Chains A and B, each alone.
Chain A
Amino acid sequence: MPFEIIDANTVFGPWPITRADMPVERLTAALKNHGVTKSLAISTVGVLHNYGDGNAETLRVCSEQGGALIPIATVDPRGYFGAKGLAAKLVESGFKMFRFFPLQQEWSLDHASFCDLLDEMESVSVPVMVQARETGCPSALQRVLGGRNTTFILEGISFENMAEAVSVMRKHKNVMCDTRELRVPGALRFLVDQVGADRVIFGSGCLRSSLAAALGYVMDAEIADEAKAAVLGGNIKRLLGGA
């Protein structure tokens, strides 16, 4: 069964921390080589420098790729002073999702400005992806979820914090997770059994992580084709209103 594949977790741009070759051309080539129709993409400039410059770069670069890349916005709460309407403006300018990088940027999920931002997000119907690859991250997110309707995607759930993620996802129907850090045999099947295939989204982390490895893991998972179709593209498409 052929699947429509949408990668919800891709990045491009400079990477000073370790040696890495991450031009956007490499990302689009990887997507093409692996039959990925579209990806949600963000420039590392917004993560590592500042979100104003980064969002501008994301929007510009994505617009030059003929629809293959869907632009994702980010805001660093350490530089957010409660500008009203920021989320709405970003959505109006073409961003389809927000991503947050608390581990990379070293702030906690109960950061007051982040909570202000989440309040702001309630007015726009776009999903929010949050770095959650360490133990404690899903629980920390849960503490700021109360009463919010935004859809949250836990990014980077692994064997280490899957029980924690599942616990949060059971209690909060608006929480989903991506597949980026899933490596353990059977983990995806287990996750699907626990929370349902409609709560798991394919994300590779490409260009920081191998698209081939992430895709191979999902393709080889012992889950039904319908579940695979949902994970690989159906769920994110639904979240984005048809992508």
Chain B
Amino acid sequence: MATIDVHAEIGTTPMWGVPFTDANLARSMQKYGVERSIISSTIGNSCDFRRGNAQIAKVVQSNPSMLGCVVVNMNYPEQSQEEMHAYVGSDQFAALLLTSGVRGRHVTLTETEEILNAHRRFVKPVYLHAPNQQAAIAANEIAKAFSIMKFVLIGMGGEDWRMATLLAERTLNLVLEVSGSSSPDKIQFASEHIGSHRIVYGSGLPYVDPSAVIGLVQDAEITDADKRNILEGSARRLFAWARGPE
């Protein structure tokens, strides 16, 4: 079974400065049978989204199994829109990640409305970090305001995965990405409430080992078909990709 990783980062890690390159990611993909990864840059996520996007643009050009995720910062709406125009339209970029510029602080509708309005034309999924209940609630508000777009909750609410799942049950354009809490029950709960077709696999590399998240999915008390959806099928539908390598 092929796997699609919708959420990995490459670059030197914050704090430690350990390099995690595209070559490292490629090795990891091979090890875990990941056919395709959607990547952003560590520095793009931590402090400089423009520099990060430029780095990713180079990487995806030379790695067909990797697609970019454009990172934008809600504090810089004009520059964010410039980044979107530069990259989101490209086939080598699959998604947009909206950040607040501060780790642990979520984005809000008020602060992201301008950027999201500009994103309407691109029809590509929008990622939102959702490490806790507050972030999930804010993401839900955004998703309701932009019902035409798909929003992927990275980390599916962390320890508040029940809340995130219940929100997604009511807001049909929310998709849950399974990195985050290691609760053994969350995959089954989410599959039962929203269906595995709205759950996607993201490794969270280089901060989480893929074995942990894949193990969480494989160990869940759900059908094999549901597991295939989470690890591959849901992402194919979300990004409108044909089956098998293109």
Contacts and interface: CB of A to CB of B under 8 A. Distances in A.
A16 interface: yes
Q: Number of contact residues on A: which range applies? A: 10 to 19
Contact of A45 (B13, B43, B76): B43
Interface of A: 13-19, 44-45, 48-53, 76, 78-79, 105
Interface residues of B, number: 20
B101 A49 contact: no
Given A17-B102, A18-B101, A49 B16 contact: no
Given A44-B47, A45-B43, A48-B46, A16 B16 contact: no
B47 A49 contact: yes
Q: What are the 8 tightest A-B residue pairs by CB atom distance, in nearest-first order?
A: A16-B101, A52-B17, A50-B17, A14-B48, A48-B47, A79-B15, A79-B16, A49-B46
A53 B101 contact: no
Interface of B: 12-17, 42-43, 46-51, 73, 75-76, 99, 101-102
A79 B15 CA distance: 5
A16 B102 CA distance: 7
B17 A79 contact: yes
Contacts of A49: 12, 14, 42-43, 46-48
B75 A18 contact: yes
Contacts of A16: 46-49, 73, 75, 99, 101-102
A157 to B, nearest CB: 25
A17 B13 CA distance: 18
Contacts of A45: 43, 47-48
A210 B86 CA distance: 33
B89 to A, nearest CB: 24
Contacts of B43: 45, 49, 53
Contact of A50 (B15, B50, B102): B15
Identify the interface centre among A49, A52, A53, A76: most chain B CB within 10 Å of its CB.
A49
Contacts of B12: 49-50, 52-53
A169 to B, nearest CB: 31
Nearest to B51: A14
B109 to A, nearest CB: 18
A101 to B, nearest CB: 12
